[in-house]
Amino acid sequence: MDPDERLRQLLRWKRWERPDGASWARFDVALQERRLRALVKESVRKRLLRLLHRVVRPGLAMAGMLGAAVVLTHLPSYSDGLAGPREMEFLLLTLEGEIDGLESELFSEADDGVCYVASSIPSGGNALLTAYHF
Amino acid sequence: MVDCLAVAHRRGVAEAGQEDGDAELVAAVQSGRMAAFDILVRRHRPRVVGVLYHLTGNREDAADLCQEAFVRALCHIHDFRGRSKFYTWLYRIAVNLALEQMRRRRLRSFYSLEQLASGAESDGVVLALASQLKTDKALLIKELQQQLNGALQELSPKHRTVVVLAEVEGLSMEEIGQVLGCSTGTVRSRLHYGKERLRSLLGRYLQS
């Protein structure tokens, strides 16, 4: 017989190697357990992601606001160059464009050179009141 | 007997490959009817376990990887768009899992042989070899099982995968290409090399 054909027959013979009925019963039980574990894992993962989304998004926005406040109050270039409520208003509008849902309001006291900015994110419910000296 | 087995196997392939049936079941699972997934599992598990067993040479690993493949398939069932047959998609998941495991366990592998279904001893190739080698059938079967599995494990994982999918499972070159994500030319060349290597390893059983 052609060696190629014999090799094919031998490889096909391997199909006789099969699990018996008892193995399938064990297989089903183990698969069921894995499915349940995967289901629980997936649901925990989804919940964590939702929670993270709720907590981190407003937090990030607040961090952005704080960062902006630090830049505005401490960096000389900003203090020197943007010395007035108008420039502050422009910066807040830019921030609002970058941070989804951020709402801010500017209160200015022209005579003492202090600006108050109230910021909040409707979904997160956080609020921040910042005072800037010019 | 060889023919009976081949026909039964082909029937299994055909059943598993009922594209319409599978497509409906997959759609049912995608719409949340989990009972349909159980039918898919029952329909495809023998072949997936078979492929994984021939790849790993270990029946416990095969069952373990097969369960993992089904869980992954279920978790990603919404990613299945029906561009290929369900079973080639499932094979792809299973084969990738096996290849990943083989890479991890390159230096240690344990073999545990699967049981032989009744009928293996009266297969044409066994009868022919028993008479040709003038040896006891029961001994020959044991020896054949070990030698065949040993020889397959001598192949590199990518050559072994192609040989198993083509010659043991009976998949077409195109289907293997889909499973492995490579061209049919690559599949053909790997199959050629793999079989050449097997011919040198199993020479004793291939002479007339």
Cβ contact B144–A13 (<8 Å): yes
Q: Which of A1, A23, A31, A37 to substitute to test the interface with B, most B CBs within 10 Å?
A: A31
SS3 B69: helix
Which residues numbered 90-109 in A keep a CB inside 8 Å of some CB on B?
none
How high is the ipTM of this complex? 0.85
Cβ contact B117–A27 (<8 Å): no
SS3 B33: coil
Q: Report d(CA B177, CA A89) in Å as an integer.
A: 61
Question: From the first residue on, what is the mean pLDDT of each consecutive set of 10 residues in chain B (208 residues)?
Answer: 42 48 93 93 94 93 96 94 92 96 76 85 90 90 93 94 96 96 96 96 88
Smallest Cβ–Cβ distance between B168 and the set A12, A31, A42 belongs to A12
Which residues numbered 38-97 in A keep a CB inside 8 Å of some CB on B?
38, 42
C-alpha torsion sign, points B95, B96, B101, B102: positive
Q: How many residues does chain A have?
A: 134
Q: Report d(CA B114, CA B53) in Å as an integer.
A: 8
Could you give the domains of chain B?
Answer: 1-107 (1.10.1740.10), 119-208 (1.10.10.10)
pLDDT for residue B72: 95
Residue A77 has pLDDT above 60, yes or no: no
